[in-house]
Amino acid sequence: MTTKQGIQQPDSTTGLHKETDSQRPFVRKNFLYMGISLLMIVAGFLLMLGSANGDTAGFNEDIFSTRRIVIGPGLAFLGFVAMAFAIIYSPKKRKS
């Protein structure tokens, strides 16, 4: 329980301090954005993967495909940027 001055006082029933919304670093939206960002990063790395080349003597030109050198890294990069946003994001408080 907190007083109007923001000083935290123990709960009368348990004697423990309760955490208020203003004291939590992350809320539900942060975790949702972090999950979406993580999926973007994993999808980007999966797009960069390729099949194994069975012929070790030959050259496989598939390593230069657009999916592997443009789309995959781009999606992973956007996922990392979105993760930074998810960590920094703080929702606005409503006055009621």
The domain limits of the chain are 23-88
pLDDT in tens, 14-69: 666 666 656 678 889 999 999 999 999 999 999 999 766 666 667 777 788 899 99
pTM of the model: 0.69
Q: Buried (b) or exposed (e) across 63-73, using 16+ Cβ within 10 A?
A: eeeeeeeeebe
Q: Which of 83, 94, 92, 69 lies closest to 31, judged by CA?
A: 83
Residue 2 β-bridge partners: 8
Cβ neighbours, 10 Å, residue 43 = 15
